[in-house]
Structure 1
Amino acid sequence: MVLASIFSFIVSAFICFLIIRFFPYFFNDPVKAGTQKFHQKPTPRAGGLGIFLGTFFAGMVLLIKGSPLVKLYWIFIISAFPAFFGGLVEDITKKIGVKERFIFILISASTATVLLDSIVVRADIPVIDSLFEFHPFAFILTVFAIAGLTNAINIIDGFNGLAAGVSISILFAIAYVAYLNNDFFILSISLIIIGGILGFFIFNYPFGLIFLGDGGAYFLGFTIAVLSILLVKNHPEVSAWFPIAVAIYPIYETLFSIYRRKFIRKTSPTAPDRFHLHTLFYKTIVKKLLRTSNPVYRNPTTSPLIWSINMIGVIPAVIFWDETLILMLFVLLFIIVYTQIYFSIIRSKLPKKTKSKSF
């Protein structure tokens, strides 16, 4: 497991280096090509390729060592591939729409649900739990839950190191709880993918030499979703609210963004904009802290602040992983803190011109 994780790091770092050094324009993300672009020069957005290949070749190490986990590991890789592939093609061509990518994600989610038996079996709420006895309901809910979290990591991927750092903290939490419950399959995948993320991270943060891309974000989101569901399903001691608490930042960011776009701004829920919490931090708080408008410094400074907010969910999830009521309270606390911070910035920090455009 340790050797596979190290190998994942080495392969990921090597692939990212090759892309940066020899193929930067093949995966190029143009400057200011969209509403959520903050980089200053064309940058390859294929860091996910390094992470995926690192994970893939780590599987070869498990195969050579004769690991008893290797069969399940390759089923996981096969399940994750459609979501990763759909995102990677978009990274390369810029021509794969949101609906088409969502179909790829649904294929991955359905495959994992069937082949890995990664299905939601409870919510630790008595009235709702009875619904999961109806298998079609459980299946449909699971597929869309996996798809939702897969997209959520992509939504928070706004600045250097942001999505990667959040994913690392969530995966470490999942790995820790898996270790406590002697689940070496979930533990192994978590550590191997953390190794792959770190191989990408050293080039992405702080200077943004390469970006995660849709392929990478989808792969990480899919992984977090599937491992979380398996952890709860296979271990009754783990609260069903552990996955919600540990990933509450990307989950709530997504749900709040849908609400904000649909009901406040009266636009499409899938339309990109510049009013995510991380963007508001970049525009206001970080600018004030650094006393500069230079994005070279503001971009990487934004991520640690959001990482800190993310830990409001992660730390309690790790400590109280088997305490449903406490986890519910911390989820509620996160929602209150996030919402208060968001509207405080909107009401008092943004210029009137910007505020009128957003609300």
Structure 2
Amino acid sequence: MLYLTLFICFISSILVTPLVKKLAFKIGATDKPNQRKVHQKIMPRLGGLAIFISFLIGYFLLQPTSPYALAIIIGSFIIIITGVLDDMMELSAKIKLSGQLLAALIVVVYGGVQVQYINLPFNGSLELGVLSIPLTIIWIVGITNAINLIDGLDGLAAGVSSIVLITISGMAIMMNDVFVTSMGFILLGSTLGFLLYNFHPAKIFMGDTGALFLGYMISVLSLLGFKNVTLISLIVPVIILGVPISDTFFAIIRRIVKNQPLSAPDKSHLHHCLLRLGYSHRQTVLIIYGMSAIFGLAAVIFSQVQTMWGSFLVLAILIFAIEIIVEKIGLVDKTYRPLLNMFQALRYK
């Protein structure tokens, strides 16, 4: 039934997306070209509504049970309303953040989705106490915005989200987590159906409706799959979401280095850097898909390593690889090359 529902969500998304495209033009939910945008013509947004409708169809067909389910669905409606309004009239950053915080509060306070403690190595335990609620909310809002930030090229956010969902669902199967597996597969089918229209050259954008919804759902599902676990396992969702998290992290570093406001837009995100290196639109998207798949594979390997030192070794290799890529493509700045400069100095000694 699970795989049949995934297929139904996939077909539903294929059938619903053209209808949403017509609706987007009718209500003015369109994206106009400017100096920061890659596209050259007016494009319909609101594609995330097709993902959401297909997701709801799958949810009511499969009816996965969990004490968290109702809160997640209520929160998703709030996120969708926020995204639709933003796609129509471009809400201020404060209003968008308010919608995200409200959705997160419902899931965390009403739904009880909280990381309350972390089991440390050597039989220790770290009780988060009063920090449990704010830290969980920060995670949900942070990942929601991280997915939104990578939505800069045709098919990029949808494809990366699909790879992340495959990883989360696969690991949920390994842990016999039926609810996370079901929700992940429903969302995966809905996103893949939409991706057929969104891959380059895109016929419709997912808009903030899609990016915020996918980010919200991924943040919650990753929490449910790995909550109240060991310190090592808590790193797994961070690795799975390596592409959006690292892009957001280095965007913050970049703005600090350049003395810019953290909310300042720029054209130095991962996809912008790859485009400047001469890769085509489609090549850039496929390269980032590959990066996301590598992060997903690394997360699976990391979770299966039996020793703490083995886990640290995998993590160290991953951090080293990220830093080299960041310096190579100029994600922080063209002059930011500490490791590469060190290797070059050692080479000529």
Normalised by the size of structure 2, how large is the TM-score?
0.86
The CA distance in 2 between the partners of 1:181 and 1:24, in whole Å, is 44
Deviation track 1:190-237 (CA, whole Å, cap 9, x = no partner) reads 000001101110001121101111111111111111111111126669
Q: Which amino acid aligns with 1:282?
A: L
Contact 1:59 1:73 in 2 (8 A): no
SS at match of 2:234: coil
Partner of 1:214: 208
Corresponding residue for residue 297 of structure 2? 315
Counterpart residue number, 2:199: 205
Alignment check: 8 A CA contact 1:25 1:44 kept: no
Q: Which residue of 2 aligns with 1:295?
A: none
Structure 2: which amino acid aligns with 1:241?
I
Matched residue, 2:334: 347
Q: For the aligned residues, what is the CA RMSD? A: 2.5
Cross-structure match for 2:69 = 73
- Is residue 2:71 matched to residue 1:84? no
- Give the CA deviation at 1:116: 3.5
Query: Which residue does 1:31 correspond to in 2?
Result: 32
Aligned match for 1:112, one of 96, 107, 111: 107
Aligned CA distance change for structure 1 residues 83 and 337 (closer, same or farther; 3 Å): farther
Change (3 A) 1:89 1:331: farther
**Shift in Å, 1:126:** 5.8
* CA deviations over 1:250-297 (Å, ceiling 9, x no partner): 111111111211x222221112111112112112231xxxxxxxxxxx
1:306 — aligned with what?
Answer: 288
What is the identity, as a one-letter code, of the residue corresponding to 1:250?
P
Which residue is equivalent to 1:284? 277
Contact preservation (8 Å) 1:313, 1:334: no
The answer on whether the counterparts of 2:25 and 2:44 sit within 8 Å (CA) in structure 1 is yes
Q: Distance in 2 between matches of 1:250 and 1:145?
A: 13
Q: Once structures 1 and 2 are overlaid, which stretch shifts more, 336-345 or 227-236?
A: 336-345
Indicate the percent of aligned positions where both proteins have the same amino acid.
31
Q: 1:196 maps to which residue?
A: 190
Aligned to 2:341: none
Moved more, 317-326 or 152-161: 317-326
Residue 164 (structure 2) pairs with residue 177 (structure 1): no
The partner residue of 2:224 within 230, 234, 240 is: 230
Q: How big is the shift at 1:11? A: 2.4
- How many residues align? The count is 328
Between 49-58 and 35-44, report the one with greater CA deviation.
35-44
Corresponding position of 2:157: 163
Deviation of the 1:124 alpha carbon: 5.7
In structure 2, distance between residues paired with 1:42 and 1:82 = 27
Structure 1 contact 153–217 (Cα < 8 Å) conserved: yes
Rounded Cα–Cα distance in structure 1 between residues aligned with 2:170 and 2:129: 30
SS in structure 1 of the partner of residue 87 of structure 2: helix
* Cα displacement (A) at 1:75: 3.1
Are 2:54 and 1:54 aligned?
A: yes
Q: What is the Cα deviation at residue 112 of structure 1?
A: 1.3
In 1, the alpha carbon distance for the partners of 2:105 and 2:301 equals 31
Provide TM-score, normalisation by structure 1. 0.83
3-state secondary structure, aligned to 1:217: helix
Cα pair distance change 1:74/1:3, threshold 3 Å: farther
Matched, 1:187 2:181: yes
Aligned to 1:8: 9
C-alpha distance in structure 2 between counterparts of 1:158 and 1:152, whole Å:
12
Which one of 264, 267, 275 corresponds to residue 274 of structure 1? 267
Return the letter of the residue paired with 2:325.
Answer: Y
